[in-house]
Amino acid sequence: MIRFLKIPTTILGILLLCLSTNLSAKEKQMNITLIPALGDNYIYLISWENKGIVIDPAEASPVLTEIQNKQITLRAILNTHHHSDHVGGNEQIKEQTNSPIIGPDDRRIPGLDQVAKEGEAVSIDGITFQVLSVPGHTTSHIAFYLPEMKWLFSGDSLFAGGCGRIFEGTYEQMLTSLKKIATLPEDTQVFCGHEYTQNNLEFALSIEPNNPAIQQRLANVKQKRSQHQPTIPSTLAEELLTNPFLRSNDPALKQALGMENATELEVFTKVRQLKDSY
């Protein structure tokens, strides 16, 4: 033991150097930048050292400006689904940075190079995302989860305080997708596709006016928005507590809707329909 403590610092230095070639995502000191786009979209730029990954580039120009300002070499473009407000910048960014486009198995993704499927890991320079299939908003919608940082990129599946409209899938699919997300660690940080949080929570409060957790969260969100700050990320714990779309089985929500004896899917469907006409 005493001998071990006397290992010369040069040897320790060599050991550390060896370790540093195999740094995990966390040790890489990853940063995340929110790039607002098209009014209420967020594009996310993950960066480390001088490399980057962009998620759901709604448009090219703010991304190209950001990576130029930060001297970042882009390594990949990730897409959660094919809607233009998530892929609009794909081809121009790919052309200018030679980055591969990784997204769901859907020919509607412009310039798709690599398909990301549930159960498969997507690795970019040692940064490994888990892929979750989360249909409902669209049939091929996926989410990317980065376990080492507990970062979830949910696109238009789970929103802060809400969920995406069901355009192509079924209510059942969307409910299953959200329940899958709900199994991630509670301290997961949720980076969703849009700044819809205030409207989502106003809706949530309209169906449950006496819910103190929603009241408090809405007050916090209003405060942030009044200072033009993003409300993203939220944590999964906050969502489980206040997002009605993750609480379809909660007796308090069922009671507020007068649906005490309804199934989880019936409650979810009702809440989604009420939100559509809110």
Chain contacts with Zn ion (rule: CB under 5 A) = 83, 156
Question: Any contact of residue 208 with Fe ion (CB under 5 A)?
Answer: no
How far, in Å, CA of 86 to CA of 79, rounded?
7
How far, in Å, CA of 107 to CA of 8, rounded?
58
Catalytic entry in 56, 82, 85, 141: 85
Q: Sheet containing 51-55: which strands, arranged edge to edge?
A: 31-37, 41-48, 51-55, 73-78, 101-103, 114-115
Instruction: Label the pairing between strands 189-192 and 162-163.
Output: unpaired
**Contact of residue 272 among Fe ion, Zn ion, none (CB under 5-8 Å per partner type):** none
Q: Which of 122, 134, 152, 156 binds Fe ion (CB under 5 A)?
A: 156
Which residues sit opposite 48 in a β-bridge?
Answer: 51
How far, in Å, CA of 267 to CA of 225, rounded?
30
Catalytic entry in 56, 81, 82, 141: 81
Q: How many C-beta neighbours within 10 Å does residue 126 have? A: 12
**Contact of residue 169 among Zn ion, Fe ion, none (CB under 5-8 Å per partner type):** none
Q: Which of the ranges 25-33, 114-122, 155-163, 195-203 carries the binding residues for Fe ion, by CB under 5 A? A: 155-163
Cβ proximity to Fe ion, 211 vs 234, nearer residue? 234
Question: Any contact of residue 59 with Fe ion (CB under 5 A)?
Answer: no
Cβ proximity to Fe ion, 56 vs 208, nearer residue? 56
Which residues sit at the interface with Fe ion, rule CB under 5 A?
A: 85, 156, 193
- List residues with catalytic annotation: 81, 83, 85-86, 137, 156, 194
